[in-house]
Amino acid sequence: MTTITLPAPAKINLFLHINGRRADGYHLIQTLFQFLDYGDELTFELTPGKPGVRLAQSMPGVADADNLIIKAAHALVGDALAQLPGVTISICKKLPMGGGLGGGSSNAATTLLALNYLWQLGHDEDALAELGLNLGADVPVFVRGHAAIGEGVGEQLTPANPPQDWFVVLKPECNIQTTKIFSAKGLTRNTPKMTMAPAFEGDASGYKNDCEATVRKLYPDVAESLNWLSQFGPARLTGTGACIFGRFPTESAARIIWKSRPSGIKGFVARGVNHSPLHQKLAEL
Ligand SMILES: C[C@](O)(CO)[C@H](O)COP(=O)(O)OP(=O)(O)OC[C@H]1O[C@@H](n2ccc(N)nc2=O)[C@H](O)[C@@H]1O
Ligand SMILES: Nc1ncnc2c1ncn2[C@@H]1O[C@H](COP(=O)(O)OP(=O)(O)OP(=O)(O)O)[C@@H](O)[C@H]1O
């Protein structure tokens, strides 16, 4: 097989608690990750006569060398890249950057798994998750491919099975850099650490995102969208924003709310899934 197309799904943080901060500035969190059946798509084409890894098209605003796809390829094989068959990678980008949906991290994880497969490197999941963590705190959950409670900086994962509900995801007109929120003065970092009880996964009433108050203050567009979506049930921020979501038991309930959104606001309807669409596709190869 010389060409494969694989999904790079979105994640949402059903809740996100900040429990403290490490000496290196990284935040200690407890979060519940779930995937969405919506995301980017990456196509990997082997080019045996042309060594190296390249993007078919650069991403606006991201230098190729900084692209997490290229970084993932280098992290995987380092200097051995020149000895391996070349690969051209095309991206169908749907996930907004700075959206809190983990687009860059998901692209990186898909690249790690795809190239491990195409180049027959034989790295196991633990090795790929460790490589992924050096690329970003969100990469390991995408490598492992199961909904999970994340602890530490998000890399200590315990598989979870939250209800696979439907979501209205809205993208207010702003991009939020994760560092801006994590370095904000007013951010609360003292939510007591929970002892995880499996029952908690099914009870969404206590779900909160500790970044919400800070994001509301800095980004009035996000606050406005949260206020609007909250009319129909609890609305939450994913990651450090800018996207927000409301959850609904059926697709039709979600679509009714989606259709009534304020004019001009972008977003989508998607289902929460506990098995990553990436892993489902890889299993079919
Ligand atoms: C907010 C979340 O999306 C929740 O899933 C993640 O914790 C962020 O994951 P990510 O985007 O992969 O983050 P990284 O690329 O590793 O880090 C970006 C920056 O965010 C800050 N950062 C990130 C994760 C974390 N637990 N604490 C932090 O303080 C650090 O300043 C870091 O330099
Ligand atoms: N392949 C990529 N796709 C998206 N962003 C990338 C990629 N490679 C590098 N980046 C950089 O990473 C930044 C964060 O993008 P990303 O889409 O992961 O945001 P995010 O969804 O807010 O992430 P997270 O939820 O993990 O905090 C972008 O602003 C961009 O500069």
Alpha-carbon span 271 to 274, nearest angstrom: 10
Paired with 169 in beta bridges are: 245, 268
Q: What are the catalytic residues?
A: 11, 138
Please give all residues whose beta carbon lies within 6 A of any atom in ligand 1, as ranges. Answer: 13, 16, 25-27, 29, 31, 100, 102, 105, 136-138, 153-154, 178-179, 182, 239-240
Ligand nearest to the CA of 62: 2
Q: Where are the domains of the chain?
A: 1-285
Instruction: Tell me the pLDDT tens digit for each residue of 181-209.
Output: 999 999 999 999 988 655 455 566 678 99
**Structure confidence at residue 199 (pLDDT):** 43
84 close to 77: Cβ distance less than 8 angstroms: yes
Predicted pLDDT at 196? 67
The fold adopted by the segment(s) 1-285 is Ribosomal Protein S5; domain 2 (3.30.230)
Q: Is 99 annotated as a binding residue?
A: yes
**Residue identifier of the C-alpha nearest atom 27 of ligand 2:** 100
163 known member of a binding site: no
Q: Is 96 annotated as a binding residue?
A: yes
pLDDT of residue 219: 97
Ligand nearest to the CA of 181: 1
Which amino acid residue places its CA nearest to atom 28 of ligand 2?
97
Put simply, whether the predicted model's pTM sits higher than 0.90 gets the answer yes
Q: What is the pLDDT of residues 83-134, one digit of tens each?
A: 999 999 999 999 999 999 999 999 999 999 999 999 999 999 999 999 999 9
pLDDT at 48: 87
**Hey, whose CA ends up nearest to atom 6 of ligand 2?**
104
Q: Calculate how far, in angstroms, residue 138's C-alpha sits from the geometric centre of ligand 1.
A: 7
- AA identity, residue 138: D
Helix (H, G, I), strand (E, B) or coil at 95: coil
Put residue 271 in one of left, alpha, beta given phi > 0 → left and psi -120 to 50 → alpha. beta
Q: Kindly provide the ipTM of the predicted complex, given to two decimals.
A: 0.95
The two tokens of residue 82 are 């020149």
Residue 26 structure tokens = 């990284």
Whole-Å CA distances, 179 to 103, 222, 265, 275? 16, 17, 25, 29
| Distance from Cα 178 to the centre of ligand 1, integer Å | 6
More confident residue, 139 or 198: 139
